[in-house]
Amino acid sequence: MSKNRDDFSEPTKRNLARRVNYKCSFPECLKPTEGPHTDPNKYLSVGVAAHISAASETGPRYNEDLSEAERKDITNGIWLCETHARMIDKDAKRYPVETLNEWKTISEGIALKELEGIKAEEKVANPILEAEIRFASGGQTNNGFNFAATFKEHGGKGPISPLQKLYNFTQHWHYQLVIYNNSTKPAFNIQLNNNSPLTYIEKVSKVNNLAPLESMKVDIHLDKPFVGMGKDSSKIIKAFVPKDLIDKTVELKYLNENRDEIVSILTFEEDGISNKVLVSKDEE
């Protein structure tokens, strides 16, 4: 037979429980441990006054240096739900004395704040911005005959029909970038950083925000030179998104209510853009 267990007294157990408002002290749990029983004169309890250092020699985290009084003292106890009381005893190595004391400090701190009427800090959900492009206008502008290119192409040998002449074109792809806030959280200080050949991105005002489920429009252009025949240029400008833009990105940066930065990467694809939302590491 093992030695007597140095169990807590009833008042000690009650004090442990009340100091954390009858909630499990495991920080990821914090669940209530007491509630009503079907018998109106009883209550249902799944709370345990667990020993930090075991009550008997063979138990977890047993410390032979403690006196019987110290082992029974409230400083050697922690209030947990039945599941977490069992958890800390099944793997004492993972849950050493220091850890359990930390939990106790945290959960008593939370109970005090709740008692004082201070709400626990709410985890801020992040806004999510996503975008799509809508074709606004496009085409080619003929800037005139390019003698040098035509001469090079045909070696100066004539006659050259007008259809064989090479011209200086500017090819245009103008879109509206529509940015949506696909979340229930506002986004602040939206910025666009161009990592693509786009030649124009409409400036957004320095201080801005996008309310939940709202959208904003930004004009973006790609204007690029092309030297060649009209029919070749016409072929190229038929593409909804030209080759030059495909796989290139525009970064959409914005802040949540806590001013943490979030980035949506907009990548051009043949038929539009794809969205990827990145949240900084210390966030989620």
Binding site for Zn ion (CB under 5 A): 24, 26, 29, 81, 84
Phi, psi of 83 (to 5 degrees): -60, -50
Smallest gap from Cβ 83 to Zn ion, in A, equals 5
Q: How far is the CB of 29 from Zn ion (least distance, A)?
A: 3
Residue 113 CB, shortest distance to Zn ion, in Å, is: 19
Q: Among residues 24 and 220, whose Cβ is nearest to Zn ion?
A: 24
> Which residues lie across from 138 on neighbouring strands?
173
DSSP label of 25: -
**Cβ 107 to Zn ion shortest distance, Å:** 10
Determine what percent of the chain falls in helix, strand and coil, rounding each to the nearest 5. Answer: 25, 35, 40
Measured distance CA(102)–CA(108) in Å, rounded: 10
Q: Which is nearer to Zn ion, 17 or 81 (CB)?
A: 81
Least distance (Å) from Zn ion to the CB of residue 92? 17
Least distance between Zn ion and beta carbon 20 (Å): 11
The DSSP element (H or E) to which 261 belongs, if any, is strand 261-269
> Quick one: 32 or 139, whose CB is closer to Zn ion?
32
Residue in 35, 44, 36, 49 with CA at minimum distance from that of residue 80: 49
CB 256 within 8 A of CB 262: yes
- CB closer to Zn ion, 87 vs 160: 87
203 vs 134: CA distance, rounded Å = 18
Nearer of residues 29 and 178 to Zn ion, judged by Cβ: 29
The amino acid occupying position 207 is: V
Smaller CB distance to Zn ion: residue 50 or 218? 50
Q: What span, in angstroms and rounded, lies between the C-alpha atoms of 144 and 168?
A: 6
